[in-house]
Structure 1
Amino acid sequence: MKKLKKMIIGSVLSLSLFGFHSHADAATNYQVKSGDTFWKIASRFGVTVGTLKNTNDRTSNMLYAGESISIPASTISFADKDLMARLVQAEAKGESYAGKVAVATVILNRMDHPDFPNTVKGVIYQIDGGYYAFTPVKNGTIYNPAGSEAKRAVNEALALRGVGKGSIYFYNPKTAVSSWIFSRPVTTKIGNHVFAR
């Protein structure tokens, strides 16, 4: 019984420290604090700024400390956010925060693109012609836990969803082995990664 109690306490503690708001998976109210912006709130809860504003019938960016706003249900589950964060951790370890956000954005852009699966799991675990979409799935590093920065990057990418240059690929030009990837139009370069369409 004592062991079970420790497991339950440990599970609750790990969920509260995880970095994702599991209550964002269901609509909730939030009391605006001084210094809050739609961007900060959207990033905190892992929802898009547009969806947050639409849910609250807002066209301006004005928020007032003390007012209550509705946080829409997240379209990405807690488990999918964790999977994304683990991929970001494995793919962008040692890269800047912006590089981590860009890797998470690629996952979301693929979900929204007709040439890729439309789920987080489908995108991350995709195998095409015997080739894994992401190296961490092949080498098993996808199963390592994500750090807090990778988790924050996922929430920021969710807040940015639909905004950006439409990157659906990224690669390290020093280690890439497919000549095909070099033919893709480059959208940006961040750290050791080149992002492309």
Structure 2
Amino acid sequence: MRKKYLIILCVFLLTLLLVTVTSANWTYTVKRGDTLYRVARRVGVSLSQLRSWNGLWTDHLRVGQRLTIPSQSTGAAGRGGSRAGVDRYLLARLVHAEAEAEPYSGKVAVAAVILNRVENPKFPNTLAGVVYQPLAFESVANGRIYTNPNSDSIKAAGDAINGWDPTGGALFFWNPSKPVSRWIWSRRIITRIGKHVFGL
């Protein structure tokens, strides 16, 4: 009888562990022009890891195919975790692409918004998950995120990782002088830094 309870307990704990691990993953949808190598590089995992997690035997991808991305491999902090392991370079690339012409505090603010999203349950819980969330950032859609960041963007990413948040907890930013979704104007504006507005 005791052995039966021990087996049931082990099965329960193993199931709980698997549910926890799989719920931390996110999904990437393949777009035209994507290769397995580019996707792996974009999301910060190795090619072999991406193949393994998705049961792929070849590098052939189809547009619309959904790939599972293991969040613990991205080097980003999840909810409740430390920011020490955050991929500073990926964050700096997004900062550079979205806020290159902004003042330094505006660059830090953009980085802080990204990190605030990682820690908010309404968004993916990894840096790569937030950055590559479909339709989230224009610079990802137009490829500008793949440009090398300048030293200010790298420093700004580091300052945000270390806790500086000039926005006071914002989850969104946008440039009101550019065409944006009507929906974004339903967000409560917290502050304005440079040309960007920051809101909840």
- TM-score (norm. length: structure 1): 0.57
- TM-score (norm. length: structure 2): 0.57
Percent sequence identity over aligned pairs: 47
Number of corresponding residues: 121
Among 90, 93, 96, which residue is 2:100 paired with?
Answer: 93
For residue 89 of structure 1, what is the amino acid of its counterpart?
H
After superposition, residues 171-182 of structure 1 pair within 5 angstroms as 171-182=174-185
**Take 1:175 and 1:192, find their aligned partners in 2: how far apart are those partners?**
10
Residues 74 and 169 of structure 1, relative CA distance in 2, 3 Å threshold:
same
Residues 192 and 162 of structure 1, relative CA distance in 2, 3 Å threshold:
closer
Q: Equivalent residue for 1:104?
A: 111
Residues 73 and 101 of structure 1, relative CA distance in 2, 3 Å threshold:
closer
Q: Equivalent residue for 2:24?
A: none
1:17-38 residue CA offsets vs partner (Å, 9 max, x unmatched):
xxxxxxxxxxxxxxxxxxxxxx
Could you tell me whether the CA contact under 8 Å between 2:112 and 2:165 is conserved in 1? no
1:196 and 2:191 are equivalent in the alignment = no
Gaps of 5+ in 2: 1-80
Could you tell me whether the CA contact under 8 Å between 1:108 and 1:161 is conserved in 2? no
Larger radius of gyration: 2
Corresponding residue SS for 2:102: coil
Q: Equivalent residue for 2:36?
A: none
Q: Equivalent residue for 1:39?
A: none
CA positional deviation for 1:99 = 0.3
**Take 2:167 and 2:178, find their aligned partners in 1: how far apart are those partners?**
26
**Take 2:166 and 2:104, find their aligned partners in 1: how far apart are those partners?**
17
Corresponding residue SS for 1:160: coil
**Take 1:178 and 1:164, find their aligned partners in 2: how far apart are those partners?**
21
For the aligned residue pairs, the C-alpha RMSD in angstroms reads: 2.3
Residues 180 and 73 of structure 1, relative CA distance in 2, 3 Å threshold:
closer
CA positional deviation for 1:162 = 7.4
Corresponding residue SS for 2:168: coil
Gaps of 5+ in 1: 1-50, 52-71
1:105-143 residue CA offsets vs partner (Å, 9 max, x unmatched):
01100000010001110000001xxxx100110000100
